[in-house]
Each structure stands twice: as structure tokens, then as C-alpha cells.
Amino acid sequence: MNLSVPFQQVDVFTAVPFQGNPVAVVLDGNNLSSEKMQNIANWTNLSETTFVCEPTDPKADYKLRIFTPNNELPFAGHPTLGSAYAVQKHGLSPKTKGRFVQESGIGLVTIVPDGDQMFITLPESKQTPIDSQKLNELAAALGVEPSNIKAGLTIDLGAVWMTLQLTDAEVVLSLRPDMEKITALTPEGVTGVTVFGSTTEGSEAAFEVRSFAPNEGVPEDPVCGSGNGCVATMVKQLQLTEGTDYVASQGSCIGRNGRVEVRFDDDGSILLGGHAVTCVEGQLNV
């Protein structure tokens, strides 16, 4: 049976089309099989494609399924924000005014519109130290000296990233990663490697971020929500901004200009968000 379903392609972490990270949003996935969803995600060939479905939890406004070209993910940041933007634009009214509640593979996620931005509260993280041998191997895969890695943790926010603090933003921008080596060093269940470094004083952004996930069919993610969530977790833990809110920059190495805003709430939670803009809107024939 041929179906025609509403569709948007949303650019996330930018207010300017084609400068952020696109996510394909299928706004009615209720009659699509998992196999069909994976086929569509492989076809769009974006870092993530999402499918909005009827929720099974009565507290949720919708259920979101998230696919890379290769796999389904329990959670990802920029697809969550972009999908919330798309469902709001499509006319969905939340059950509770001022917030959307998304059912996902990690449970319920709350998304709060703030003017023309969207913010999520990051889920509780699980953190595992990365041993020195693995850090040395990762340094070689990234093309830097081991001394350029200041700290490293594997952080699980639903999406799992090996997260590395590098010497500074200049080192981050100069990386020439070996994707075959990164693939070999990425364990099953881990999305990939996210790196960050501090910018110079007076810069618009506090950190430069890059995310590499060749195992997921995404050699370099333009602007990564979950990767930035892992960075924010390390920034808080290492007190790199002394608890003050900040903006991170990502994507310049591949022609993007993404901006990710991070806020530290008084209750200890971390909020992550930014702007979004719809670049494509219409019907998808499935």
C-alpha cells in the first residue's frame, strides 16, 4: 500500500538555512514498519531521520523513533530538538502548555520552547574513564600527540560518546582524523568520538566541538546535540566555565556554522538547545 505522509527537513542549531545540522522528520510514522523506517533513513542519508508516532505513555505528546543511516538510536539531541520544532510547526498542541513531552528509547524527554529556540533537559549521564592506552590510540586516530588530550570520558546520555577535551580550539579545528582507525577504536554500543577545546578569550563561543561517528555512517556530524551534551557534562564536571552558561560552535570544518547554547539550571540539571528552521516541507511518498 502506498502512503503519503507529511514531511519536514529541519536545520537545527541555526536560524539561517543550510548552516546547521539537518534532520528529516516524518510526521506520521504510525503505519511504517521498522524496516521501512530504516530504509527511509538510509535513503535520506542524513545523520538522523525521525518518525513521529502515537505515544504509548499517556504523559507523552508523541513518540519519536530516531534512525541513523545504519541503526536506530534510543536518543539523540539535534533530532529531538528538530522534531519538536517540526511538530509545533505542524500544529500539534502539547498536553501541558509551554512544553512538549517526547517518548523515546530512554524514556520521557521534555522539550521547552523559549522564543524561537528549543531546549531539552539532558538525561542523567553514566560516565566511564578512558584508560591511557586507549587515549593514546585515539590521539593517533585523530592525528594529534597524546599530550594534546587533557581529559577523556565515555559518557552515556542514551547516545554514547567517547568525549575528549583537547588543548584548545585550534587543535580541534586542525584535526585530520583517520576514519578507519576511529571505526576500529569505537566499541559496539558507542556512537563515536566527540572532541572539544576552549576558544580564545573574547570569542563568541566558549568551545569548538567536532563529532566523528563513522560506524553510524556519519564520518563527521555537522552539529551534534548528544555530543554537545557529553561536552556539557564534562564542562560542568571539570568546572571549565565555573557554572556559567555558554555557547559552543560546531561545523565550520565542513561548511556549517552551528551554535549550541548550554544552560546550567539551579537544580543541577543541564539544558541544551538552540534555533531551528524548516528548509523542506511537503509530502513523502512511502
Residues 91 and 136 reside in one and the same domain: no
List, for residues 13-47, the tens digit of each pLDDT value. Answer: 999 999 999 999 999 999 999 999 999 999 999 98
Cα–Cα distance measured from residue 254 to residue 234, given in angstroms and rounded to the nearest whole number? 25
> Can you tell me whether residue 272 is helix, strand or coil?
strand
> Mean pLDDT in the chain?
95
Residues 109 and 137 reside in one and the same domain: no
- Tell me the average pLDDT across 209-237: 95
**Active-site choice (48, 103, 208, 220):** 48
Whole domain around residue 67: which residue ranges? Answer: 4-121+274-285
- Tell me the average pLDDT across 116-125: 91
List, for residues 209-218, the tens digit of each pLDDT value. Answer: 999 999 988 8
Query: What is the DSSP pairing of strand 72-73 with strand 62-67?
Result: antiparallel
Residues 73 and 149 reside in one and the same domain: no
Phi and psi, residue 259, nearest 5°:
-130, 125
- Tell me the average pLDDT across 104-117: 92
Residues 209 and 253 reside in one and the same domain: yes
> What pLDDT score does 103 carry?
97
Residues 35 and 61 reside in one and the same domain: yes
Residues 137 and 256 reside in one and the same domain: yes
Residue/partner pairs of 147-153 with CB below 8 Å, 24 or more apart: 151/234, 151/238, 153/127, 153/128, 153/129, 153/230, 153/233, 153/234
**Total domain count, the chain:** 2
Residue 1 has pLDDT above 80, yes or no: no
- pLDDT above 70 as % of the chain: 100
Residues 252 and 133 reside in one and the same domain: yes
Question: Bigger pLDDT: 64 or 47?
Answer: 64
Residues 113 and 136 reside in one and the same domain: no
> What pLDDT score does 115 carry?
82
Q: Assess whether 48 carries a catalytic annotation.
A: yes
Residues 72 and 151 reside in one and the same domain: no
Phi and psi, residue 195, nearest 5°:
-125, 155
Residues 105 and 200 reside in one and the same domain: no
State the CATH number of the domain containing residue 78. Answer: 3.10.310.10
Residues 76 and 192 reside in one and the same domain: no
Cα–Cα distance measured from residue 173 to residue 155, given in angstroms and rounded to the nearest whole number? 22
> What pLDDT score does 33 carry?
96
Residues 233 and 164 reside in one and the same domain: yes
Cα–Cα distance measured from residue 88 to residue 86, given in angstroms and rounded to the nearest whole number? 5
- Tell me the average pLDDT across 265-277: 95
